[in-house]
Amino acid sequence: MKLASVAALVALQCLVPSTASAHPAANTNSQTQHCSLNNGIQHVISITFDNTHLTRDRAGIASDLEQMPNLLNFMTGNGTVSDNNHTILISHTAGGILTSLTGLYPDRHGLTVTNSYGYFKPDGSTAFSTAFKYWTDLVDDVTPTGANDPLPNMVTTGGVTTPAPWVPYTRAGCDYGGVSTANVVLENTKTTPAGDMTKVFGTGSTEWNEAKMNPALAQTDFVGIAIHCAQGGGICKSNANAKDDLLPQEPGGYTGFKGLFGAKYVNPAITNNQPVVKDMSGADITDPAGNPGFPGFDGMPAKVSLAYVAQMQEAGVPITFAYISDAHDNHDLRRASGPGESDYVAALHAYDQAFGAFFDRLAADGINKSNTLFVFTSDENDHFAGGTSTDGTWSHTFCNVSGGQTCPPNQIGEVTQNIKALLPNTYTPPIFDMHFDSAPTVYVAKPTAAPPTAAQIREFERKLAAARGIDPYVDPSSPRDVMLFMADTVGEKALHMVNADPRRTPDFTYFANPDYFLTTTNTACPIGDPPSSKVATCVDYHFAWSHGDATDDIGRTWLGLVGPGVKNLGRTSAT
């Protein structure tokens, strides 16, 4: 099954009109009684992991899902797990999630490069935007009129906003909950004319003023959690905190719909007026300062996201889409962890416990495989940039490759490389900018007075294609090719990387050896050293899980389906 068909499959399973309305499970809110789904489905629970693996990253060390048997056994024992699912290119969180949500390739939903992307301003220079923005946000949400690029971030054919994924459900009478899910929840607290706080709450509103005066609290209160309410009101009915759910370019129109934006308003609506939701262990879900609400996109482990899903379902929100943070980045120590490392193993054990409690809780609510379509997947896989370890310990140290330092065998970390240092000393490239990545997209400046010729750009491509460097994980003494593949604008179009906004098309994409993370500057090695010690090539242990590239360990991921109409095939590569 192609990844791009997942959303279509879910919609077909659920949304073909039925003659009878779904019956809410025990303890659920009666507001779901008009949610008309198909095929015996009364609930949809879709969960996307960040970089969580079915296959093993090192032989002899159980994979992420193997260390979460409560989830893996639920999927294989009751449904189908395909280990032959494939991501889009380049493989990153925003693009992967939004392809799953929409059923569209990136050239149709707009986010052809993520998690940030470059675009050409009218003067030919390059600006950059995050891909994580609310559904209707513009590329240029900084200038008052969007002068640098007035098209939508989520742009589709015709230069309009891609149809929103919650609309088929809300039109069918179903409330739709978003838990840290890309672009269906508010993503920022900007109070500029095009900012989320301005568009949703209005200039001078209480919420807008909070964001102006205390953006950290506003992040907790209004970002990351949302409910898009059904036609007729759903959980928004008679709720004074509900705001207009505005989709001005939605095909067929979208008027009269409401939404609850942020934990400050969602929490009371799903907990009988309590300000806080409890996680799966019974603890309050708060931000790092202890305020009830959204903990941040890196603060969504399984026990938090699953608790929000369960609480929404119990409150009568039958459609829930959630995101779970990865387990291999230690956000307390602010560094990556390696396969088999104790903190990584402990994190996966906690995830497994959370899933066990989650399935038990849903079963007690009457929410199970007989009436619920469960969808589990990962936005992409990763390449582990690291050496070897026999006991699960890893060297969390910098390694100065430029200085000739020999990295220890159990070194961990991406090889951070200044791409300019890979060019011949006698060659002067055109002015360019780049999306830093293991598969960077390159934007050559095009000043109106003297734009570069096609021949100059092609020469630049050839010089970079010939680049060689030291990869300490392969051979610390002999340079090797840095690049695996390259795609110019023709190749990018074939890879679904050219969307309806011509200003966002990179001149070329450089798919590198995934041990590398490519930048345009030297790196302090270690961080904190004076500028004189900055080097072109340095292993940085803070980041070790590389994605974006066109390699099988990144692009081949997994998809789990359980529920009405889903065959019990266990684990399979045939689908």
Q: Residue 102: pLDDT band by 50, 70, 90 thresholds?
A: very high
On whether both 542 and 562 belong to a single domain, the answer is no
Q: Render pLDDT for 448-475 as a digit per residue (tens, 0 to 9).
A: 888 999 999 999 999 999 999 999 999 9
Q: Residue 575: pLDDT band by 50, 70, 90 thresholds?
A: confident
54 Rama class: left (phi>0) / alpha (psi -120 to 50) / beta: alpha
On whether both 411 and 479 belong to a single domain, the answer is yes
How far is residue 35's CA from residue 14's CA, in Å, rounded to a whole number?
Answer: 10
Q: Residue 15: pLDDT band by 50, 70, 90 thresholds?
A: low
As a dihedral over the C-alpha atoms of residue 237, residue 242, residue 243, residue 248, rounded to 10 degrees, the angle is -40
How far is residue 285's CA from residue 305's CA, in Å, rounded to a whole number?
Answer: 10
Residue whose structure tokens are 């742009």: 155
Identify the pLDDT of residue 23: 32
As a dihedral over the C-alpha atoms of residue 106, residue 164, residue 566, residue 574, rounded to 10 degrees, the angle is 0
What share of the chain in percent tops pLDDT 90? Answer: 90
Residue environment code for 187-207, b if the CB has 16+ CB neighbours within 10 A, otherwise e? bbbbbeebbbbbbbbeeeeeb
On whether both 355 and 468 belong to a single domain, the answer is no
39 Rama class: left (phi>0) / alpha (psi -120 to 50) / beta: left
On whether both 54 and 16 belong to a single domain, the answer is yes
Q: Which has the closest alpha carbon to 114: 128, 126, 125? A: 128
Residue 44's DSSP bridge partners are 319, 373
Q: Which has the closest alpha carbon to 401: 514, 481, 516? A: 516
Whether residue 559 has pLDDT greater than 60: yes
184: which 2 tokens?
A: 């269906």
Q: How many C-beta neighbours within 10 Å does residue 346 have?
A: 13
How far is residue 87's CA from residue 562's CA, in Å, rounded to a whole number?
Answer: 21
Whether 232 maps to a domain, the answer reads yes
The total number of structural domains in the chain stands at 2
Identify the pLDDT of residue 3: 38
Identify the pLDDT of residue 5: 44
Q: Residue 36: pLDDT band by 50, 70, 90 thresholds?
A: confident
Domain that holds residue 492: 399-546
Whether residue 533 has pLDDT greater than 90: no
The mean pLDDT value of the chain amounts to 94
Q: Render pLDDT for 160-206 as a digit per residue (tens, 0 to 9).
A: 999 999 999 999 999 999 999 999 999 999 999 999 999 999 999 99
Whole-model pTM? Answer: 0.94
Among 138-147, 210-219, 427-436, which stretch is predicted with the lowest mean pLDDT?
A: 138-147
On whether both 281 and 321 belong to a single domain, the answer is yes
Whether 509 maps to a domain, the answer reads yes
At residue 328, φ and ψ (nearest 5 deg) are -95, 0
- CATH code assigned at 229: 3.40.720
Q: Residue 294: pLDDT band by 50, 70, 90 thresholds?
A: very high
